Amino acid sequence: MSTLLITAGRLIDPANNIDQIGDLYIKDHRIISRFNRPSDFSAEHTIDAKDHIVCPGLIDLSAHLREPGQTQKATILSETTAALKSGITTLCCPPDSLPINDTPAVTEFILDKVEHAKAATVLPVGALTQGLEGTKLSAMVALQKAGCIAFSNSQNPIKNTLVLRRSLEYAASHDLCVIIRPEDPWLQNQGCIHEGFQASRFGLQGIPKASEIIAIQQSLTLCELTGCRIHFTQLSCHESVALIKAAKQKKLPVTADVAMHHLFFTESALNTFDSTLHVRPPFRTEYDKQGLIEGLKTGVIDAICSAHQPHDADAKLGAFPSTEPGISALETLLPLVLKLVTEHDLSLSQSIAFITQNAAAILNLKEGNLSIGSIADICIFNPEQRWAVNEQNWLSQGRNTPFWGQTLQGKTTQVIKSGTVITS
């Protein structure tokens, strides 16, 4: 199809400061007009988006796909399809696949699978150090040429501060963005829960907030030294927000995101040794949760990611400390954005920005907006439609969500990927 008309939807495009009901015109995979019908336009296909919201396709800064290496948990096909049908048109996958994405061959393998899946666009994040071992730098420039968008040591923080410094220096010389999930490995100490009252009560090894705070302080000091662009991902502490705020005031090149579920859960939810709530960083206190929400409201935290980590059932069956951390979160991203609006006094446009425009800005992506001339990656959703999180509706291979069996509000109805209509 070469022309597409989306009529009467509420167009929300934070990048262009648009929140208004109207039509959107697409021709040859690109957005050619908003609100005003171009003189020579005749629609070959029309979508009636009345009572629906039409926004840029969502961008997820962190979604594990598990392929190569852990296809018992998920595949590139299963997860990019689940993403696309949930409105996510672009996602970044961390480098901790098996083998680790530290050579162009792995990047190419991933992108080849992505191309065949014909679903969401995947922007691989390359390993910052070889094998994520924190000792030798990976070939970042070659990885970038192969398609890596940024570099990270993912869930394996670099222990050696000299190696961390060199990594940041090297990345900075090539203007590459480094993504850090801040965690001091010594203080993390194989913990599985926030070091708070539940850890005391259940005798579970806690992860203190100091683990995250020290890691951020260390990285910020090295950011100042090296000038490297750093994106901090999945913050969990109130104090972390204050550190990022101060760094931004100092004009350091830093950005930050928070994982969506950290805006809804605290350690109190862990009343039952429920392994679906085993996440890293752990759910912390109400004070921390409020701090993260405040960070979003004040713009200190730029974006929200799903931190999608699909697991096979076995990974979550066992005594709590022996289960694997993470939540399958692609499909709940949009409903939770809507929940953010109703529960935390954020406007819909503001909330959508966290998973479109703002996420794009962090990685200098051209996606994430409805600008004239841009590739048509669009999410159309019904904000009122309720849907049950169950076998019938779930697409990800990982069913490890705390919302299983619940009803959520907000359903993607159509997604436009590069001008092609996909019905959810």
Q: Is 202 in the site for another protein (CB under 8 A)?
A: yes
Q: Is 208 in the site for another protein (CB under 8 A)?
A: yes
The nearer residue to another protein, 265 or 273, going by C-beta atoms, is: 273
Element (H, E) at 46: strand 45-48
Identify the residue among 197, 221, 225, 286 touching another protein (CB under 8 A).
197
Q: Which stretch binds another protein (CB under 8 A): 106-114, 242-250, 289-297, 313-321?
A: 313-321
Q: Is 287 in the site for another protein (CB under 8 A)?
A: no
For residue 144, give the 3-state DSSP assignment.
helix
Shortest Cβ 119–another protein spacing (Å) = 32
Shortest Cβ 197–another protein spacing (Å) = 4
Q: What end-to-end distance do the CA atoms of the chain give, in Å?
A: 18
Q: Which stretch binds another protein (CB under 8 A): 9-17, 201-209, 296-304, 367-375?
A: 201-209
Closest CA to 259 of 110, 347, 171, 155: 155
188 φ, ψ to 5°? -60, -45
The nearer residue to another protein, 83 or 277, going by C-beta atoms, is: 277
Q: What type of residue is 225?
A: L
Q: Is 206 in the site for another protein (CB under 8 A)?
A: yes
Q: Is 353 in the site for another protein (CB under 8 A)?
A: no
Element (H, E) at 394: none
Contacts (Cβ under 8 Å, ≥6 apart) of 17 = none
Q: Is 200 in the site for another protein (CB under 8 A)?
A: yes
**Integer Cα distance of 132 and 115 in angstroms:** 26
Q: What type of residue is 201?
A: R
The nearer residue to another protein, 114 or 315, going by C-beta atoms, is: 315
**Pairing relation of β-strands 378-388 and 407-417?**
antiparallel
Q: Is 157 in the site for another protein (CB under 8 A)?
A: no
Angle separating helix axes 104-117 and 76-85, nearest 10 degrees: 50
Q: Is 272 in the site for another protein (CB under 8 A)?
A: yes
Q: Is 320 in the site for another protein (CB under 8 A)?
A: yes
Assess contact for 142 and 117: CB atoms under 8 A.
no
DSSP 179-200: EE----HHHHTT--EETTHHHH
The nearer residue to another protein, 151 or 264, going by C-beta atoms, is: 264
Assess contact for 223 and 254: CB atoms under 8 A.
yes
Structure tokens at 64: 């594990």
Number of residues that bind another protein (CB under 8 A): 22
Shortest Cβ 403–another protein spacing (Å) = 12
Q: Which stretch binds another protein (CB under 8 A): 267-275, 300-308, 350-358, 414-422?
A: 267-275
Shortest Cβ 101–another protein spacing (Å) = 29
Q: Is 204 in the site for another protein (CB under 8 A)?
A: yes
DSSP 122-136: EEEEEESBGGG-SSS
The nearer residue to another protein, 225 or 317, going by C-beta atoms, is: 317
**Integer Cα distance of 225 and 424 in angstroms:** 47
Q: Is 273 in the site for another protein (CB under 8 A)?
A: yes
Per-residue string for binding with another protein, 321-350, x by CB under 8 A? xx----------------------------
Q: Is 282 in the site for another protein (CB under 8 A)?
A: no
The beta strand positions in 197-272, using DSSP E, are 206-207, 229-232, 254-259
How many other C-beta atoms can be found within 10 angstroms of the C-beta atom of residue 274? 13
The nearer residue to another protein, 187 or 292, going by C-beta atoms, is: 187
Identify the residue among 38, 69, 299, 318 touching another protein (CB under 8 A).
318
The nearer residue to another protein, 159 or 201, going by C-beta atoms, is: 201
Q: Which stretch binds another protein (CB under 8 A): 141-149, 174-182, 266-274, 408-416?
A: 266-274
Closest CA to 231 of 219, 218, 239: 219
Q: Is 185 in the site for another protein (CB under 8 A)?
A: no
Q: Is 271 in the site for another protein (CB under 8 A)?
A: yes
The nearer residue to another protein, 265 or 320, going by C-beta atoms, is: 320
For residue 369, give the 3-state DSSP assignment.
coil
CA atoms within 13 A on the CB side of 65: 36
- In the complex, the residues that contact another protein under the rule CB under 8 A are 195-197, 199-204, 206, 208, 271-274, 314, 317-322
